[in-house]
Chains A and B, each alone.
Chain A
Amino acid sequence: MKSCLTKWSFSLFLVFGFFLTASAQKMVSGKITDASNGEALIGANVLVKGSDSGTITDIDGTYSLKASQGDVLVFSYAGYTDQEIVVGSSTTVNVALEAGKLLDEVVVVGYGTQREKEITSAVVSVSRENFNQGPISDPAQLLQGKVSGLQIYNRGGDPNRASVIRMRGISTVGANVEPLVVVDGIIGASLQNVDPNDIESIDVLKDGSAAAIYGSRGSSGVIIVTTKRGSKGGVKLSYSGQFGASSAMRGINIMTADEFVAAGGTNLGSKTDWINEVTQTGLNQVHSISADGGSGSTSYRISANLRQVDGILKNSGFDQLNTRLNLTTKALNDKLTIDFNTSFTERDQEFGFNEALRYAIMYNPTAPVYGDQSPFPFNSAQFGGYFESLGLFDSFNPVSIINQNKNTGKRREFNYGANLGYKVTDNLTANFRVAQQSNSFSTRAYYPTTSHFRGNATSPIRKGRADLYSGDSAFKLYEAYATHLSDFGNSTLTLTGGYSFQQNNFQSNYLSLGDFPNNDIDFINNIEASQDLLKAGLISANSDQSPDEKIIAFFGRANFTYDDAIFVNASLRREGSTKLGEDNKWGLFPSLGVGVDLNKYAKLSNVDLLKIRAGYGVTGALPGQNGLSKPIRGIVNGADGSVTTQLIRAANPNLKWEEKAEINVGLEFASGRFSGTLDVYTRNIKDFILERTVDVAEFGVDRRYENAGKLSTKGLELALNYDVAQGDEFSYTTGVVFSTYKTTLDEYVIPAEMRASLGAPGQNGTNMILVKEGAEIGQIWGPVYSSVDDKGSPVFVDVNGDGKLVTGQDKALEPDVDFEVLGKGIPDFELGWTNRVNVSGWSINAFFRGAFGHSLVNSFRAFYEPQISTQSSYNFMNTSLKVDGLSTARFSSLYVEKADFFKLDNLSISRQISLGDFKAINNLNVSLTGQNLFVLSKYTGSDPEPSLVDYGSADNGANESGSADVLSPGIDRRNNYFSARTVTLGLNFNF
């Protein structure tokens, strides 16, 4: 790395030295603004008339170029009327352009910006006013439902869990499936370190031809976040505050104490509403203060955001403080633009225990909360005063779980990025970027000696447990690229070329130990008291450090525009990664896109825009783990102190890039008040990197990582907007985004397999998801329920009608099995419907969202709805789908429910308040926002939103595994958080 840095500084020096000597001429500069509102116009054209010399404005709307006195400067911007100004003696020429008929927005693409009309790929730009409203902590949530083809789901309302994000569905089986995030030009930046209140706009690159410039990490789409920047002028202070309250929104139907006893449940004499005992109204507040301003060639924006969120599960939530500074300054006769951004986030998390919600559902409703109300002699002191039903598998008093145990975390993120843009000539700009990001996290879970849940209170010898996990990671980015613009009269050519170096490192430590003396203090802060330290083999400890994970790339792009109506974009990225096999480290990622403004030639009346575009691009995907191509060995410690090793994973030096090729065809249309965009695409993904079964006789172990499989997705996305009314007193705009796709697994490592075990008790071997070559992803596969027999067992349908009932789980893949597809985990289509109404100073924003065609396995019902005599100490589910008399729990169609839903996701009403002569505060805006106000769905579980990944079943107090299975969508597990309804009062003003 040292050698790279040295080269880097040397190069910087060399290039600048050259530029300094090369530029000693008079410059004309200024700012181009929108005449109607004074806002900067980004990417506006400035040309010296009659020459090929010209430039475009930067992100602040400023430009500078060389010109002589008497030259005529032509200022143009799509959608605005051109202006010509003769250069006089002044070196500053500011221009305010009048809007033309149609606004042409600038879109941030990889390593630059483009006018929207020049874009030849599926790119969607969402600006601040279109974001979802309310106390949103996760920036991804700003976009939920707003971009067709971008799926964002956060099942339940767990404030500490990030959303699952999918671009056009699953893009890879084995590798990283989340979109690449670019914040202010920094690739791979963390979305966690950006406060939603600091975001100006988000651009989403959906298809391969747009993302190919990002190469290896673009396969799952790219989300480009642009933060707010300062504007010139005096200091402007603004405040934004939100105060909200959340409550659990959809109840789960379980039996009350009386119903439970009537149904034959074991009566322990009390009546306890366990869900009520563990949930609360979660209060949350957000305060954001920002200051921005600027003078001369410098502008800045500083902000601080404070968030306090309490979850609807008692003792869950977080406090977060985020600060950000964005600074822009110019030097060297305005030829050098320096952008500097830095941000710091600290989050104190109280994760709580989602398991408490699970046990609240299944715990005996006649059990008392406290042991002194036990119907039989019970030593409640041993359990901290709480009652516990001992001798039962997977049964813990949920109130004890949340009150006795602690599960907390702290996360710090810091990053900075500096971008140096140097205008070498009017047509040539060189950019250098340095960015670093570091984050650290630590989690601490403590289970005191009296906790039955993980604290092992029943154990006579080893009570109490402390888990400590911490780590940090560091990311470095160095990039250099140059952009050259050639103007040939009626055509322009923009060339971009550069180099990118990325390096990531992380390390982590984990320690778990127990056997603490008592509960006088929290011994997690005093682990030296653990008696595990005196005994061999009880402490669990591990640590890890990554190798230098490097990605190195060379890239180039050409954008050609002819007649301002025909657009061609092509790019090529050659990229290498440390993570791949010795022989296949480098990959090549090309793209080509063509767009035509048809109406320029067709000149249809009443049509403002008719553009067709097509793009093709290849992107890659990298695995998250290291060392996949290497043989990995495990240590075997002998009792005599000897150390030997065993092979645990076989090598594969041929491991190569996973590759996605995508074709996208789009149509953009606008006529009067109506506008729309239609995209259709097909994408083929091959050579997934995944762990594959190999011949154990040959390789010594049965697993290694290989490239295998093909996945194809075909999809359609539609966005429509209509201005229903456009009056001063009343305006109404409505818009719909619609998306649908189908993903087929064309080839896989084996012809078919079953995944996703339902779990314990008793349904461990019950895998529910069929993964099969030639079939769609996400099929729920199992027997079809028909009736209940006199023993209380379910009777299944002879699906194939051969007179023989084959329903054993290990026969799931046999040709004569009587299983069928019971549902799909992935929706057929998704819909977002935006409505914005302005009436007499009131703004109303109503956003509806729905997903249709997907199903969910309702795990709670599958385990606890049958009234099993041997499980009469668990509560029973009591939904409308319950079958009376069923007393055996066996997975079947009975527990697979259609989960179509349509919801009022977000309703916001706001008003600008005039304070008359009170000038200390201006632009006061008050809003009231409701999230999840109503949900229409027949699903009987807590949350009908699709479950795109599966974290598996975690039973009997076991910790949930961290790995998410993307091939097993459609399972509503028992550890899910409940979804929440939130109402928020918002206040914004400047002062």
Chain B
Amino acid sequence: MKNIGKYLVYPCILLAFSACTDLEEKLKGDITDDINIPGISTGGGGGGSDVLNAAFSELRNSGTANHGAYYSVQEITSDEMCIAAKGGDWFDGGILIDLHKHTYKPTHDFVKNTWNGTYNGINTCNELLAKATLDDNQKAQTRALRAYFYMRLMDLYGNVKIITAPGGNAPQSKRADVYKFVENELLASLGITAVTQGMDLSNSALGTANNPYRINRYAAMGLLAKLYLNSEVYTGTAAYDKAAIAAGYVIDSGVYQLCGKGCKVTNLGRRPAVSSDPAELEGFAAVFAPNNANNPEHVFTVLYDEVSAGGMNFSQMNLHYSSQFTWNFQDQPWNGYATLEEFYNSFEDKDERKKASFIAGPQLDFGGSAVLDYASDDGNLVLDYTPKINEIAPNSLRQAGARPGKFSFKQFGRPDMDNDYPIVRLGELYLIRGEALARAAGNWNASLPDVNVVRARAGVAAFTAVTADQFLAERGREMFQEGVRRTDLIRFGKYNAAWWEKPVSPAYVNIFPIPQEQINASGGTLVQNPGY
């Protein structure tokens, strides 16, 4: 009996439960591929059906206009902005000074964030192309957007992998080959094989209607113009003629107009108690205002919105803590980015762009009283942004430096701003055409017709003659805070020069290091750029 018991019990127990071995994991709180086809719009409660939304939102995710990625590496490395260490504040292990002084290394966080964010964008485009049902126009837009992400990667890192399908891998391509890929993709989206005078875009799947949040023919052509302008840097071979043709195509289309006199929006930053605050922002200032949507100058912009498209955080990053009381911000700012004195002084006082681009001088609060800084380090409690920055480190004064304010702030603003951020706008296209014509002709005065268009809009006298340095300065005044200065300085051979506290830097820093983490993760398929 005993033995029977022994031999029956174990199998009995084991048998009874052997069926209970189902270990499939059915997730309830997460979205996986099982329950959602990637990238496909489901319509949602609002009834929208914008399949491309995920892909275009990657422009925000990759740091186009926020601290810590693309915007930061394009701006702080240049002569127009820095983040100085204010005592202990904003030293952050020296990584911000490393950017400004060009001593960045492969472990730099911002360099890593930019790489990863850009490839995230490429992946979302690849998923759309591979798995979603897209019409020809959507396919062409997605390919053009992907090409733009590759253009950024090529500009920043040189040799990168070109991946065109989700989950795929590829060897690292040479910078010139990435250039070729970007060019071909953009040309394909335009339905042409080359940019020529009188080219026929009728085969393009891209549209012509003006929608700056998406890519139409003018946006794609504008991207090509930017690409060709830098061709010599990227490939060693110039393509200025093509740059001029591409820029001219958009300018001459007549679809877009420079925002000048009469082009205005309500001034959302106005303090009723401060009489000097205008009721409206007109001309240049309107192009970048919080309510700048549908500005006639916008060809291709990144949508930012405090509710549905967050990420732009200039008010938080640029302004002093106490500036909260000027704009009644929901949150206190952090006192980071400031403009270099020399750059600020490159503006004539009557240049409309000066007032539109900077927050400088003594500050008044919403009620018109002086804004006070009780922790002031210069003995004066009144908050007064001085153009002079006493030093980059360690003890930059808290209120030193005019603050970038071109993407202007609105009253009662949230930490996420509303201003749309241009990738292609008409003002820049004039400068691209002018520069391309001048470089092609070997004579900077060939740029005068175009450069004087933007000067006229800014309310400053026309140039009668112009040098390369003057042209670069003009470009700086027009394009300040638009994430192009590093690329411009490299093209003009000024990136390695010394300025302010920044010493001469070696040529290899013109291409960023590939993030060390990615080199480690790539299993030997990524090779570091020279010099690092």
Contact = CB atoms under 8 A, between A and B. Distances in A.
B93 A627 contact: no
Given A635-B31, A647-B124, A793-B394, A462 B330 contact: yes
Contacts of B29: 543-546, 626
A312 to B, nearest CB: 29
Contacts of A696: 115-116, 119-120, 123, 518
Residue among B33, B52, B107, B124 facing the most chain A CB atoms (10 A cut-off): B107
Contacts of B25: 547, 578-579, 626-627, 629-630
A554 B19 CA distance: 12
A517 B184 CA distance: 59
B167 to A, nearest CB: 7
Contact of B16 (A11, A626, A643, A693): A11
Interface string B34-57: 101011111111111111111101
B322 interface: yes
A745 to B, nearest CB: 15
Nearest to A556: B10
Given A456-B330, A809-B95, A868-B395, A8 B33 contact: no
B521 A765 contact: no
Contact of B21 (A376, A552, A757): A552
A430 B2 CA distance: 13
Interface stretch (B261-269, B372-380, B477-485): B372-380
Contacts of B89: 393, 760-762, 870-871
A390 B94 contact: no
A813 B123 contact: no
A887 interface: yes
A753 to B, nearest CB: 8
Nearest to B5: A424
A943 to B, nearest CB: 24
A872 B374 CA distance: 10
A10 B425 CA distance: 75
Contacts of B377: 869-870, 872
Nearest to B306: A537
B328 A459 contact: yes
Contact of A764 (B93, B104, B105, B308): B93
Contacts of A640: 46, 48-50, 53
A469 to B, nearest CB: 15
Interface string A400-434: 00000000000000000000000011111010000
Interface stretch (B80-88, B191-199, B284-292, B497-505): B80-88
A796 interface: no
Given A642-B50, A701-B120, A18 B8 contact: yes
Interface string A640-683: 11111111000100000000000000000000000000000000
B233 interface: no
A197 B395 CA distance: 57
Contacts, number: 388
Given A482-B13, A693-B518, A536 B87 contact: no
A184 to B, nearest CB: 21
A326 interface: no
B518 A547 contact: no
Q: Which of B26, B57, B94 has the most CB of A within 10 A?
A: B94
Interface string A569-584: 0000000111100000
A641 B167 contact: no
B332 interface: yes
Contacts of A868: 87-88, 395
A534 B32 CA distance: 32
Interface in A859-877: 863, 866, 868-873
Contacts of A791: 394-395
A284 interface: no
A793 B94 CA distance: 14
B375 A266 contact: yes
A425 B96 CA distance: 77
A811 interface: yes
Interface in B113-142: 115-116, 119-120, 122-124, 126-127
A702 B105 contact: no
B280 interface: no
A749 B518 CA distance: 12
A355 to B, nearest CB: 16
Interface of B is mostly: loop
Interface string B144-162: 0000000000000000110
B463 interface: no
A762 B84 CA distance: 10
Contact of A871 (B16, B105, B375, B523): B375
B354 interface: no
Contacts of B88: 761-763, 863, 866, 868, 871, 888-890
Given A543-B29, A577-B23, A693-B521, A389 B375 contact: yes
Contacts of A866: 88
A425 B4 CA distance: 10
B105 A810 contact: yes
Contacts of A562: none
A18 B5 CA distance: 8
A766 B92 contact: yes
A701 B320 CA distance: 35
Contact of B10 (A482, A646, A749, A814): A482
Interface string A1-16: 0011001101100110
Interface string A325-343: 0000000000000000000
Given A11-B12, A872-B375, A700 B394 contact: no
Contacts of A749: 520
Interface in A797-837: 808-814
B30 interface: yes
B308 A639 contact: yes
Interface string B518-532: 101111011000000
Contact of B517 (A501, A576, A693): A693
Contacts of B17: 4, 7-8, 11, 480, 499, 501
Contacts of B447: none
Contacts of B2: 425-428
Nearest to A625: B30
A176 B514 CA distance: 34
A639 B26 contact: no
B167 A700 contact: yes
B239 interface: no
Nearest to A548: B26
Given A645-B38, A694-B521, A763-B88, A870 B395 contact: yes
Contacts of B163: 697-698
B330 A766 contact: no
B45 A889 contact: no
B305 A639 contact: yes
Given A632-B30, A633-B38, A640-B50, A873 B375 contact: yes
A751 interface: yes
Nearest to A699: B167
A458 interface: yes
* Most interface-central of A19, A501, A550 (chain B CB within 10 A): A550
A533 interface: no
Contacts of A767: 93
Most buried by B among A536, A585, A697, A890: A697
Nearest to B13: A480
A-B CB proximity, top 5 nearest: A641-B46, A809-B93, A765-B93, A700-B123, A889-B88
13 contacts: A3-B20, A15-B13, A484-B6, A497-B14, A536-B308, A552-B20, A636-B57, A637-B44, A699-B123, A762-B85, A809-B94, A810-B94, A873-B374
Interface of B: 1-2, 4-6, 8-10, 12-14, 16-17, 19-34, 36, 38-55, 57-58, 61, 85-96, 98, 103-105, 107-109, 115-116, 119-120, 122-124, 126-127, 160-161, 163, 166-170, 303, 305-310, 320-322, 324-325, 328-332, 334-335, 366, 372-375, 377, 383, 394-395, 397-398, 412, 414, 516-518, 520-523, 525-526
